[in-house]
Chain A
Amino acid sequence: MKILVSAKRVSDPNAKLSISGDRRWIEGDVEYVMNYFCENAIECALQLAEEHGDIETIALGIGESDETARFIRQGALARGIDRGILVVADEQTTDSDLIARIYAAVVEREQPDLVLIGKQAVDGDSNQVGQLLAEYLGWPQATFASKLERDGDQLVVTREVDGGLETLALSLPCVVTADLRLNEPRFAPLAGIMKAKKKPLEELELSDLELDDAQPKVRIVHMSAPAGRKAGMIVKDVEDLIAKLRGEARVL
């Protein structure tokens, strides 16, 4: 069995972000971290491989060449993923749809049985790539997975949905997107970091993938800060809180 997982780097959501001069992207000294949901996807693939054996795991990262390569090595290969694929692209001019078409082209080359990626990239917050990819491939999908079990060539996946938890049974090949409660991602062991340096990491250009069209369908034309809230007040005690909520706020 072959599993394709994702390794996307994102700018640290806890860092202060500044908007670039043309107001179309962010700029400045941004710290990058591995997209949290990719860590869950990677962990899930590693656990499947440990449990069932005979599974090859491949991590795909799409982005600027050197930086993305470093993240694939440190975040995926060092944790135990077998090999990596880097597709060089400018992240500012990709949308989820172009990312999904790049994934589809890699699936075409690699023929994995399962694509296991994050439910959302915590920079763009689109929550689309897995679903787009599943439709491009004509495969079934289970998004927002909080539990995954393999039963032969079937997967049984529990999903976090509005109103509770839903369980689906899917036959392979399929696409699963990971939610945060799927597992606790491991840290890369020291030995893993050494090993990762020697693991294969293939670098591809967009032109190698023979996409019909490498244009995004969605582009950012303006970025702004959200409307802030004006500072509130600290109330003395419960009595005071009730008085404020009844009086000036009129919500009680």
Chain B
Amino acid sequence: MSKVLVIADHDHGVLKKLTLNTVAFAGHYAEKTAGSFDIAVIGHGVAGVAQAVTSYGAAAVHLVDHPDLAHPLAGPWAKVIADLATAIGADVVCMSASSIGKDVLPRVAVRLQAGMASDVVEIVTTSEGLAFRRPMWAGNLMGDVIISSPTKVVSVRSAAFDAVALGAGSSPIVASSAHPDAAGARVHFVSFDGTASSRPDLAEASVVVSGGRGLKDRFNSVMEPLADILGAAIGASRAAVDDGYAPNDYQVGQTGKVVAPQLYFAVAISGAVQHLAGMKNSKVIVAINKNADEPIFKVADYGLVADAFVAVPELVSKIKLLRA
């Protein structure tokens, strides 16, 4: 019988939907091992997040609320996660492979003397026991890994698991006594420069429209109307970010965000392996590129060979007409 501990992702007190994909992973694992899962909410002033996750089938929701946890610094967060995991006897600790999950989970693993698998997309049964399947080499290969330590740490690729639906049950909320060290921290939060956007979150959107270097400084004027009409999140290739046409957290790919929306548009993106690593599991892929030989057309369900500066505005106005 296993016990899985899910660490909730939230943005300063607002639950991130990604958490529900991680809960789906935990549910699968618990099912395969006749176990159960708990959810932990860590931060300061986050009782609302704990309340928000009580109807997804967790045996318990643990609330770790402390002023020194207000900002997700890896050291203090790792300590309380590991202490809580030990206290409840968790044998798997997981969180989404968000920037916080990537930052914190390895430190948790050290504290629990656990091995860690990153970016897990599937749980597979092998002759040597349960393995975690994960993409390697920019998604060109899939590796099934076995973690031999008694406690295991997993970061979950949320795009690979369907979010759990709201259930009827109500998990009890337990205030945890886990707390960060009182000793003077050697790292301090200075500032956060957020990308203001009223659009859906890139990692959660059902439609994503991404632009590449080919758009140059007309990136926004081409991509925004398309995102508006489709209710989409905007993404970008690394080259578009490097050249300053789009903010860094728009980057989709091996080293950016991994998305798997219902519909993905790649506009003026060549389709380098590192970009494909972040979007090739989308349900429907559309590529708009003026060069018919680009690798993006090998993964696109629908390819349009055209100048994006002409085709995208035309697409937007035709969809508008349909919707009018």
Query: Is B131 located at the chain interface by the 8 A CB criterion?
Result: yes
Query: Is A194 located at the chain interface by the 8 A CB criterion?
Result: no
A127→B284 contact, CB < 8 A: no
8 A Cβ contacts from B117-159 to A: 117-119, 126, 128, 131, 134-149
| Among listed A51-59, A77-85, A139-147, interface-contacting one | A139-147
| Among listed A1-9, A41-49, A239-247, interface-contacting one | A239-247
Q: Report Cα–Cα, A213/B136, bound state, in Å.
A: 26
8 A Cβ contacts from B250-308 to A: 254-255, 257, 262-263, 273-274, 280, 283-286, 292, 297-306
How many chain-B residues does the 8 Å CB contact rule pick out?
A: 90
Query: Is A252 located at the chain interface by the 8 A CB criterion?
Result: yes
Residues of A within 8 A of B (CB): 11, 13-14, 17, 19, 26, 95-97, 100, 119-120, 122-132, 134-136, 139-144, 146, 156, 159-171, 174, 179-181, 216-226, 229, 231-235, 237-239, 241-242, 244-246, 249, 251-252
Residues of B within 8 A of A (CB): 11, 73-75, 78, 98-100, 102-107, 109-111, 114-119, 126, 128, 131, 134-149, 185-195, 203, 207, 238, 241-242, 247-249, 254-255, 257, 262-263, 273-274, 280, 283-286, 292, 297-306, 311, 314-315, 318-319, 322
A-B interface pairs (CB < 8 A), number: 250
Task: Find the B residue at minimum CB distance from A170.
Answer: B187
Interface of B is mostly: mixed
A237→B249 contact, CB < 8 A: no
Query: In the complex, which residues of chain B have a beta carbon less than 8 angstroms from the beta carbon of A139?
Result: 186
CB distance from B272 to the nearest CB of A (A): 8
Extra contacts, 16 of them, besides A129-B106, A163-B11, A249-B263 (Cβ < 8 A), are: A13-B138, A26-B137, A122-B138, A123-B136, A131-B107, A132-B107, A165-B193, A171-B187, A217-B115, A221-B146, A222-B126, A225-B142, A235-B304, A238-B318, A242-B322, A246-B322
A224→B314 contact, CB < 8 A: no
Interface of A is mostly: mixed
Query: In the complex, which residues of chain A have a beta carbon less than 8 angstroms from the beta carbon of B75?
Result: 134-135, 140-141
B249→A249 contact, CB < 8 A: no
Instruction: Give 13 pairs: A residue, B residue, CB < 8 Å, sorted on A.
Output: A14-B273, A125-B119, A126-B116, A128-B118, A129-B106, A132-B110, A140-B186, A144-B103, A146-B248, A164-B194, A168-B73, A223-B136, A234-B305
Q: Report Cα–Cα, A242/B288, bound state, in Å.
A: 13
A221→B116 contact, CB < 8 A: no
Q: Contacts A180-B255, A226-B135 given: A141-B74 contact, CB under 8 Å?
A: yes
A241→B304 contact, CB < 8 A: yes
Q: Report Cα–Cα, A242/B140, bound state, in Å.
A: 31
A122→B11 contact, CB < 8 A: no
B286→A241 contact, CB < 8 A: yes
Q: Report Cα–Cα, A135/B194, bound state, in Å.
A: 28
CB distance from A178 to the nearest CB of B (A): 11
Task: Find the B residue at minimum CB distance from A234.
Answer: B303
